[in-house]
Every structure is written in C-alpha cells, then in structure tokens.
Chains A and B, each alone.
Chain A
Amino acid sequence: MSDNTRKTVNRKKTRYPVTDYERIFHPHRLAIIGVSAEENGVGFGAGMLKVIMAMGFEGEIFPVNPKGGTIAGLNIFKSVEDIPEKIDFAIIAVTARHVSEALEACRKKGAAGAEILSSGFSELGTPEGKDLERQIKEIADKGIRVVGPNCFGIYCPASGLTLLPGPDLSRQSGPVAFLAQSGGMSIDFAHAGKWLGVRFSKVVSFGNGADLRETDLLHYLKDDPETKVISMYIEGIKDGDSFFREIKAAAKKKPVIVYKGGLSRAGARTVASHTASMGGSRVIWQSVLKQAGAIQVHDTEELAQTSMAFALLPRKAFKGISIVGGGGAIGVIACDTAEIYGIDIPPLSDELQARIGDHLPKPGSSSVNPIDVANPFVAPPTLKEVLLAAAEDKRVELQIIVSLLFHYKTIANMFNKPVAEVTPFRELAQAIREVVDRTGKPVVAVLPNAKRGLDNLDITEMIAMARQEYIDRGIPVFDELHDAIRAIANVNTYYGGKNYEKR
C-alpha cells in the first residue's frame, strides 16, 4: 500500500466534534457505572467511587447500578438515563457484555469521554471479546472518546481522578504526563513518582486502547499547557506512520521519554537480505525514536529518574559539570561515568582551587574537580562555599553533590541520639537551594545508602526524610551517582539534539 492510500483510510478524517479533553480530565459531573451497594461495595465500581472520594474529587458523582440503593452517602441511580442533566465523564466497571449499552447511554447523556475498567475484550483473543471491543469502537466513533477497556483509567491530580487502586496518590499537579497501556505500570509509576519527586499533569492507562491510545494522546499532550514532559511505556503501537508523526511533532515541543518493552523477540520474521536480518525490531525502534527526537530509556527506574530530571532541571544541555563528594573513589567513578555519557568534569582554575582548598579539611581533600571534601561530616555552610566557588568557573554548568549521610549513624551512636537528629540534611538542602538561587546553576543531589539492612532502618528513614527536603526545594535527588549522570545525559541528548525547537 502506498503512502497516499494509507492516508485516505486514516480515520481522523471522519472525526466528530473535536475531543473535549478538558471535560475528560477535569470533569465536573462524573458518572460511575457498576457501583454495587451489595457485597459491601468490593467491586471495581464501588472501589473506584471510594478512591475518588478519598482523593477529594470536588465535582458531582453519580453512582449507577440497576439495583439502586445508597453508597457512601450517595444515592445510586438505577440507570444512566436517570441522572439529572448532562455528565462530563463516566467510569464504566460493569461486566463486558453490558459495557456497550452503558457507553451508549453515557454518550447520549453528553459525556465527552469514558474510561472502561472492565476486562473481557480483545485481550482474551476470542471472537466474542473482539466483537464486544468492536462495538465499543463503533460507539466511540459516534463522538464519545474511550479510555480502555481493560485499564486502570486516568489519574489527574488537579481534578482528583485517580487510577483504580490509587486513593493515596498526590493531589499536587506537576509537569509530567505518563502514558501506558498497562494499568499496573501506570499505578506503579504514579507511586514511584510520588517519592522520587515527579509530579504529574496526567497519567493515562489506556489498556486495550480501543479508541484513545498513544497517538491521539501524544497529539493532545503536545499542546497541553499543563504538560511539560511526556513519559511513556510502550509495548505495541497500532499504526507506525501516525505514531511517528505525532511523537516527532511532540518531541519538537517538549521532551518525550520512551521505555519500549517487548524488544526481545526481534528478528522473528524470515528474511532474505542482510539488511532485513540486521533490522530487527530492537534496532528499528531505537532508530525511529532517535529520528523522532524522543529519548529512549531502558528500564522503569531510568524512566522515572529521567522524567524527574527533565521536570526539575533548566531546559538546556549541561556539557561541563562539577562534582563534590567525600572520598577519592567517588571522584574516580564520577570521571569514568561522566566520560561514558559524554559529560566533561573540567579541572577548576588555580585561583578557584586555592579558594576552595581554604575551606576544606587537610590533608586528604582535593579541590581540582571532582572536589573531594575528604570526609562526610563537612558542615553545610562549608559545602555551600565550595559550591558557590566552583560555580564561578564558566565551564561548570551544573553541579552534583554526593552526600554520604549514612555515615552520621556513627555520630548518632557516639552521642546516643537518633540519626535523623544528628544529620544536618535540612540545612544541607537549604544551603543547596541558596547556591542554586545565587549562581543560577542547578545542583543535583545524590544520597547513596550503603547501610540498608534491618539494623539500619533508621538510616533508610532519615534518607527518605532528607529526600523530601530536597524535593520540597525543587532539587533533583538520586540514590546513586550513576543514575544522576545518566539522567543528566538524557537531558543533554534532548536539548543538545537538533529536533528540539528552541524557543
């Protein structure tokens, strides 16, 4: 099929009214269909109602179940038709064979969209399942956009919509949008984001993607003012052509980070040429993402860490960095890692080295860059002076400070005090914030923990508290130096690349 014929069958041409994403992500009037007052409300629908209430959703909620009754102080409507006036959005959690009827009723009630949590569709691979999904698609084509079926739905902190088992997700909005087919991946990423310091604009788990899926959502997020960074986990896509077009267009405007799963069965096709045998799906995906200007990552940790770095760092590439830490090996490892990722650690000028040296304990310290502060107990005001001085070198565009806070356990034991009390993490976070404000150059914190055993749970807790102090001040914080450098390198790849439209 030639390119031209492909375009004429593109369904976008016959789209009905423009999708009202505002009413989908920020609904004022929300129907939840399949809420059973019986069984103590343990079904998906009742579960969803409760988590959305727990999130503090401010709009009106209309639970629906043919048996009626009440749940959580709300009157259950016997049918969608009984809901007074129009609705904006619906959550559908009835059994598969009742879904299309419910969806059609929501469409007639004026809903802009619906998420279908129910499973039992094309994922079964049965003719019945496929047929039920086709019915959903047909109704969607009449003008109601569908997320799902077989998904965990939408999480939107600003409106209080949340994923299925997510009553405890943050209500704080942020710049990162996340897309995945997988519901489990979405909820896990949303939770990981919470402690990593990633705040979300929208998270969408679209399951089977009968209607809305990666391509449409990329198209929307590209111009969504709430979204500054797009993060996605992809297993399969529906149409390579439109996907490529949309991801390339989106990546011109904002970073798009992709973790593509399911590359291990590359080369399953039978081919005759060397070119085809070397062009398995792993290498093609890698090439296509690069061509589109998207950033490819290789596991969920890198996805989350990279999203965080994009969200918190200024929009530019950081070619030269300084590294401040205690212990010679950290410096050596830092240099090795930075080189792999194409980042320079320039030696500071003699004048700056001398000034930094004046602050540092002797012997055992080094002020060349990496700057070795010799021991983990150097006080925050001193570290602040070191960072302020290193930032004066114009080749230093970003600073990393590695703080081995776990060593404070020794001091805690010495004075018989809790480790959280003797560790100056709050002062350090504050000092770093002041350095960033004064120098205009970002500082990235690394808080490794070599003591994670059961005998050191107090350290784990203290480091979690420390992380929060950094996150609250908008400072990117990582567990490991390698993670930090890799995330910075991903930022560099994007802003140093030519696809990004500088504005």
Chain B
Amino acid sequence: MKKDSAIKMIGNALRKGRTALSEYEAKQVLAAYDIPVTREILIKDKKNLDAAIQKIGFPLVMKGCSAEIAHKTEKGLIHVDIRTATEAKKAFKEIMAGMEGFDGGVLMQEMIKGRRELVMGLTRDPQFGPCVMFGLGGIFTEILRDISFRRAPLEVRDAHEMMQEIRGHKILDAVRGMEAADKKRLTDMLINIGRIGLEIPEISEIDLNPVILSGSKPVVVDALIVLK
C-alpha cells in the first residue's frame, strides 16, 4: 500500500465514525512507511481458508480482526501455533463465533519466532507534538516500563540514544546464543514512526507491541492505531 492509499483508508474509517484502525489496516499503514510487519491475509469466508494457508504456510497465527474489538487475548480471539488444516478450520469457527457479530474477519498471519519482544509507539504530547517510544515489549512493557521517548522528527542519533537509554538495552546485543538485533532496521522503524506522526495528523496514538526480533530482524506482530 502507498502512503496516499493509507491516508485514504484512514479518511474512510473516520467518516464511519471509527476511533481506531483494525490490526490489518494498521499494518498496511506501517508497511506503507517501510516498517516490517508480519505477512498476513484477512479472510471473511471459510472457503478462502485453504488458499490463505497455502500462501502463509504453517505454523500460523489466527486472530479475530476488527477495529471494534480490543483485548483480543481475553476474548479468546487469538490462536497461535496452528500446524494443520483441521486446527485452522476449528480456529476459524471459534473466532467467528467469538466476534459476536462485529464487522471483521480472521487474520491469517505468519508465526514469528523469537524470544525477544520490543515495543514501539507514538503519542502526541500537547506541548511537543508527536513523540516516538521504544522499550521492552510484551508483558514487560507495563510491568517494567523500561521505555524511552524522542520527539519527531528523529535523527539517526536520536534513535540510537533511545535504544541505548533503556535499562534493558543489552537485549539488543548478541546474548545467550541469540544474534545482535539489526540496529539499522530498528533505527529506520523509529524514524518512520515519527514520520507517520508528522505526516498523518489523523493518527493520534500508535502501539506496536510486540515487535519481535526474529533472529536479528525486528517484525511488528501486533499493531494498534488510534485515530483522532
């Protein structure tokens, strides 16, 4: 997706009175800004299941996808590590039932393997405008609050400082047999999140959590984009 189509999509969502993008939509916006996201396909009909499986390949993650549903985990709308067509069919059925009639579909997503989870995000400060966040992701984000912020636009140096500033910055090094994180790619991601903040005023907040290090490569696995 190109930037202008992303902006058009956001405009449509706003006209419908929506306050957030669905995960699938959010990832398209991110991809338009060269931010690496999971490979995924959104299906609404069971008959497209096999084609999606063919395209993404096992193991995969299946998620209920709707801008109207938050807290997917609590509602049983996420099924991970699906390895067979039978499991996929069962998951599809359960997810569609759990959607309780909300508009949306099932997101068929490649399963990213990696033990290191990061968080990135965007907030708008009333004084300083769009500010980009970086930190430890997954369940640790709220527990440890090991995070750093920089105001957009970010220079390369700002992104480097953000990564160095968190207490757990060694997670980005080669530790316990894991590769060192691709800092160049992380830097570009942070700079581009800032760019989204500057170029799309309709977006008020972004949460990318987790961003998983797959080997050395960071990939956005879940994304929330909140609209104004």
Chain A residues with a Cβ under 8 A of chain B: 1-3, 237, 240-241, 244, 269, 271-276, 278-279, 281, 283-284, 287-288, 290-291, 498
Contacts and interface: CB of A to CB of B under 8 A. Distances in A.
A273 B226 contact: yes
A1 B201 CA distance: 7
Contact of A240 (B129, B142, B207): B129
Contacts of B123: 271, 273, 275-276, 278-279, 284
A284 B125 contact: yes
Interface of A is mostly: helix
Contacts of A276: 121, 123-124, 204-205, 226
B141 A240 contact: no
Interface stretch (B34-42, B108-116, B147-155, B168-176): B147-155
A205 B46 CA distance: 70
Contacts of B205: 271-273, 275-276
B207 A269 contact: no
A275 B133 contact: yes
Given A269-B126, A279-B123, A287 B226 contact: no
B119 interface: yes
**Top 3 nearest A-B pairs by Cβ distance?**
A275-B121, A287-B149, A279-B123
Contacts of B151: 244, 284, 287-288, 291
Interface of B: 19-20, 119, 121-129, 131, 133, 141-142, 145, 147-151, 157-158, 161, 198-199, 201, 204-207, 209, 224, 226
A486 B145 CA distance: 25
29 contacts: A240-B128, A241-B128, A244-B128, A269-B126, A271-B205, A272-B19, A272-B20, A272-B204, A272-B205, A273-B121, A273-B123, A273-B205, A273-B207, A273-B226, A274-B141, A275-B122, A275-B206, A275-B207, A276-B205, A278-B123, A278-B145, A279-B123, A279-B131, A281-B125, A284-B127, A287-B148, A287-B150, A288-B131, A291-B150
A498 B164 CA distance: 14
Nearest to A276: B123
B151 to A, nearest CB: 5
Given A272-B226, A291-B151, A284 B119 contact: no
A477 B76 CA distance: 64
A273 B206 contact: yes
Nearest to A241: B129
Nearest to A238: B127
Contacts of A284: 123, 125, 127-128, 131, 149, 151
A240 B147 contact: no
Nearest to B162: A287
B121 A274 contact: yes
Contact of A279 (B125, B142, B224, B226): B125
Contacts of B145: 278
A2 B201 contact: yes
A3 B161 CA distance: 24
Contacts of A240: 125, 127-129
A269 B123 CA distance: 12
Given A2-B198, A240-B125, A287-B150, A273 B224 contact: yes
Nearest to B227: A272
Contacts of A283: 147, 149
Contacts of B157: 498
